[in-house]
Amino acid sequence: METATLGGGCFWCVEAVYQRVSGVRRVMSGYAGGTQRNPTYEAVCAGGTGHAEVVQIEFDRQAISYADILEVFWRAHDPTTRDRQGADVGTQYRSIICYHDDRQRAVAVRSREQAAERIRRPIVTEIGPLEEFYPAERYHRNYYNQNPRAGYCRVVIAPKLSKLGMPS
C-alpha cells in the first residue's frame, strides 16, 4: 500500500473522484500545507492557517501506480487556476501535491511536466513535502456518498464524475 496526499479544490469533490478509482482502498478528507496545528474547517476557510483542503489516498501499488493516481488528479480539476476551483475561491482550494518521499516528489514533478505539455495554460499546482495531515471533521468525510442529493453534490460533484466517466 502507498499513500498520496492531493488537493484540487473542495475535498468533497476530490474524495468522490478517488473513491471511484480502481485500486484505491481508502480516501480521507483533511487539511495539509499550512502552519496551524489541528486546524478546524472554520479556521481553514477563514484563510489564516495556510492549509489546503486535501485528500489522503491509500492505494494498492499492485493495482494502480502513483503516476496513474496523479493522472486522475490532472483530469479531475483545473490546475491552472490559482486558489480556486469553479465558484470555490480561497487559498484552501489551491492545487497542491504533498509528496511523502523523494520518489513521489520526482514522479510528481515529472507528471506536472507531462501535464503541462497537454494543458494550454500555465499550471500553478504546488509540489511540496507533506509536513502534517489533519483529518477533516467527521461530517466532511465520505460526504458525496452520504449526501448525493445535497445541492453542491448535484450541481458540482455529480457533473464532475459524469465528465470523468465515473458512476455517481
Which residues are tagged catalytic?
10
Residue the block writes with cell 510528481: 108
Q: Which amino acid does the sequence have at 167?
A: P
Q: What is the C-alpha separation between 8 and 92, in angstroms, rounded?
A: 9
Q: Give 27's Cβ-side CA count (13 Å radius).
A: 25
**Which residues have a Cβ under 8 Å from the Cβ of 72 and sit 6 or more positions away?**
17, 18, 21, 164
Q: Are 130 and 100 in contact (CB under 8 A)?
A: yes
Task: Reduce the DSSP state of residue 132 to 3 states and report it.
Answer: coil
Q: Which amino acid does the sequence have at 4?
A: A
Q: Are 164 and 76 in contact (CB under 8 A)?
A: yes
From its phi and psi, is residue 155 left (phi > 0), alpha (psi between -120 and 50) or beta? alpha
